[in-house]
Amino acid sequence: MNTDVVRLLRVTPGIVCRRGEIACKESVDFDDWTKMLTMHDASTEAGVGQWVRVVRGPYKGDVGLISAIESWGGVTLLLVPRLAQSHPLSSKRKRGGLLPDPNLFDPKAFIGTDAPVAQTEGKYRFRGLTFEYGLLVQQFDMHSISSKLVTIPSRILSLFRASGHPTLHTALLPKPVEWTFQEDEKVVVKSSGKHGLI
């Protein structure tokens, strides 16, 4: 490899470097070929405490909060889980079925031999998933999320706030979907009771 390629690979997220040298793997799985060809502009990458929308997978359309940036180039998101708590023996949805409504994870709702395992305060493992303060902790690659025009339903925002997760203390809350304002619209500032015009 020439020096320009080596320099580019050293600053590319997801490329493993050991002692300044690029760690080479003898073969790359076919499924990873296209991922290897896509690089991200560091200036457009998402950061911890940023709200994003999931664009792929079972949580497609849901809004999550980035809690960590992973060394392999992906992110760890906090999401309001969609588990069938009323049917503890079946957390998977049937093909073509709808996902359960989003709700905070409640370990008391799942009892029996498949009960959640407490890890640390507020953290549980259940059916191979991790939950913190009632929120699902899930990893995504950068192709599975979007940070453009993130709004959130008030109900979901309320669930995030009710979780009390520490990451929320430093994150700016996104605009609720229901907040639609027009020019010349009269408004009342709730905290002060003052009337205004947009």
Q: What b-and-e string marks burial along 79-93, b requiring 16 or more CB atoms within 10 Å of the CB?
A: bbbbbebeeeeebee
The mean-pLDDT minimum among 44-53, 67-76, 151-160 falls in: 44-53
Tens-digit pLDDT profile for residues 158-174: 999 999 899 888 888 88
DSSP 64-80: EEEEEE-TTS-EEEEE-
Confidence (pLDDT) at 7: 73
Q: What average pLDDT does range 120-131 have in this prediction?
A: 87
Q: Is pLDDT at 147 greater than 60 in this prediction?
A: yes
Q: What is the rounded average pLDDT for all residues in the chain?
A: 78
pTM above 0.85, yes or no: no
Largest CA distance in the chain: 67
Tens-digit pLDDT profile for residues 40-54: 544 345 788 889 999
